Amino acid sequence: MIYTVTLNPSIDYFVKVNELNEGSINLADEQNIVAGGKGINVSKVLKNLGIESIATGFIGGFTGDYIEQSLQKDNIGTQFVRVHEQSRINIKLNTGKETEINGISPEISSVDLSLLEKTLFSKLKEDDFVVLAGSLPSSLPANFYGQLIADIRSKGSHVLLDTKGNPLQEALKHHPFLIKPNHHELGDLVGAAIENPSDAVFYGKQLIHEGAENVLVSMAGQGAVFVSKTISAYANVPSGIVKNSVGAGDSVVAGFLANYTQHQNLLEAFMYGVTAGSASAFSAGFCTAAEIERYLPEVKVEVIEGA
Ligand SMILES: Nc1ncnc2c1ncn2[C@@H]1O[C@H](COP(=O)(O)OP(=O)(O)OP(=O)(O)O)[C@@H](O)[C@H]1O
Ligand SMILES: O=P(O)(O)OC[C@@]1(O)O[C@H](CO)[C@@H](O)[C@@H]1O
């Protein structure tokens, strides 16, 4: 089974304002309200690709009710822990440029934490995959993902981690199976500018040295890099017009996982994941299997080092 853990889910309020006048009243030209958060988005893309997953994490308040109900409506399994304060509302404003305002996370108590661990660990089996994705609610310590990874791995399950900053740094020594920073997140972590694929390979190797098993660095329109102990590779992205990049990174993770669980081939999964990311970026919502198939012939993986 695949579990996605979103510790800090949200309602995403997408709003398009063609001409924004700061300091005055603006009317929306388009809007869309969806359940969001990185792990939840991974579950949604997996569903589009015909793969079941169970979404877990913390939800609270009327926003939490909406998140749970909307996933249930999409036939995605849910096992959330209810907390007292409400889940975030994240604003995704499109004025031609994409601007995001992410809301304040609810307080998580030690009781909430033990309930989450009970929910996850009572079900987890050897060779299950767990996606840990998104920011930590501000009341959780930076090493929280690290602790979870250690416990998940002790069950023989595998972790895909998509987060940034200290929580990512702290998690590396616990050996996540895959991490997926974008090039800015990688740059922040290593204190260097990642300007091209060679930089991404160089610093990706550093994260392998620090404990990650596989590193996928997405570089938006510049392509992506995959690094493991034995291989480094580059994938280009297909050409197209980006309609909405929110969740494109989550689609990379979902596409990688969907393909890897079927074929157990890292480079094939890399290629499929990157294509899924672009297919989502080129559509208003998340990619479908048919859209990925359409763009796959344009994506080539070039091995830089290794077999
Ligand atoms: N201009 C583009 N052309 C083609 N594909 C793109 C473009 N921008 C983004 N993508 C696709 O989206 C994926 C993720 O983009 P990016 O590297 O910006 O990661 P991210 O910051 O995690 O994404 P997100 O926007 O979801 O936070 C890329 O690997 C690529 O597949
Ligand atoms: O604040 P976080 O947890 O890092 O990111 C949250 C978020 O921006 O990520 C998703 C897109 O990747 C959105 O659905 C959601 O609003």
Mean pLDDT of 116-120: 94
- How deeply is 103 buried, as exposed, middle or buried, from its count of CB atoms within 10 A (0-12, 13-18, 19+)? middle
Residue 307 has pLDDT above 90, yes or no: no
| Model confidence pLDDT, tens digit, residues 226-242 | 999 999 999 999 999 99
Rounded mean pLDDT, 125-142: 96
**Domain locations in the chain?**
2-305
For the chain, how big is the Rg over CA atoms in Å?
19
Task: Give residues (CB < 6 A) around ligand 2.
Answer: 8, 10, 12, 36-38, 41, 90, 102, 134-135, 246-247, 249-250
CB 246 within 8 A of CB 228: no
**pTM for this prediction:** 0.97
Q: Which residues are catalytic?
A: 250
Q: What is the CATH number of domain 2-305?
A: 3.40.1190.20
pLDDT > 80? residue 162: yes
CA–centroid distance, 36 to ligand 2, in Å, is 7
Indicate if the pLDDT at residue 123 is higher than 90.
Answer: no
Kindly identify the ligand whose nearest atom is closest to the C-alpha of 271. Answer: 1
Residue 282: the pLDDT is 97
DSSP per-residue letters across 96-163: SSEEEE--PPPP--HHHHHHHHHHHHTT--TT-EEEEESPPPTTS-TTHHHHHHHHHHHTT-EEEEE-
Nearest ligand to the CA atom of 42: 2
Average pLDDT, the chain: 97
**Sign of the CA dihedral with 185 first, then 272, 174, and 246 last:** positive
Give the distance (Å) from ligand 1 centre to CA of residue 107.
31
pLDDT at 191 exceeding the cut of 80: yes
Residue whose CA is at the smallest distance from ligand 1 atom 9: 220
